Structure 1
């Protein structure tokens, strides 16, 4: 019999973690497209601090809501970048 450590993630937590990581990577990739260096740095710092400040949440509903909020913000950023081209 193998015993999992107390910190092991269940399947839902594992899948949510993957969604959060994907969102984070997508946000950083999109920020790279911002033409102004100062704005790019501010957005990158904001994204990093926002994800870091929320990394300790464990309530799945709260995490899902934050993912949806992040996806909406990402769509808005992409739209703004498309309009500025």
Structure 2
């Protein structure tokens, strides 16, 4: 048997993981709409750093809280992009 087996996720954990992945993708899609290339790079670095810094969380309540924070950041980014166009 391999020592690198990943733990089996519960249904709720699996759903939360998919929500996190979807949020990450949505943020990167929104970043592509930013007109300034340098600002795009900064936003990408910030996004990666935030997701990595919070990847250790396993508590469902914490994950949901960070998902809400990420969704709020995404809405703010989308609103600012809309104003810039």
The two structures share one fold, judged by TM-score above 0.5: yes
SS of the residue corresponding to residue 9 of structure 1 reads coil
SS of the residue corresponding to residue 58 of structure 1 reads coil
Q: Report whether the alignment pairs 1:28 with 2:49.
A: no
Equivalent position of 2:44 in the other structure: 44
Instruction: Tell me how far apart the structure 2 counterparts of residues 8 and 54 of structure 1 sit (CA, whole Å).
Output: 20
- Deviation of 1:7 after TM superposition, in Å, equals 0.7
- How many residue pairs were aligned? 81
Moved >3 Å (runs of 4+): none
Structure 1 residue ranges without an equivalent (≥5): none
TM-score by length of 2: 0.92
Structure 2 residue ranges without an equivalent (≥5): none
SS of the residue corresponding to residue 7 of structure 2 reads coil
TM-score by length of 1: 0.92
Cα RMSD (Å) of the superposition? Answer: 1.1
- Deviation of 1:56 after TM superposition, in Å, equals 1.2
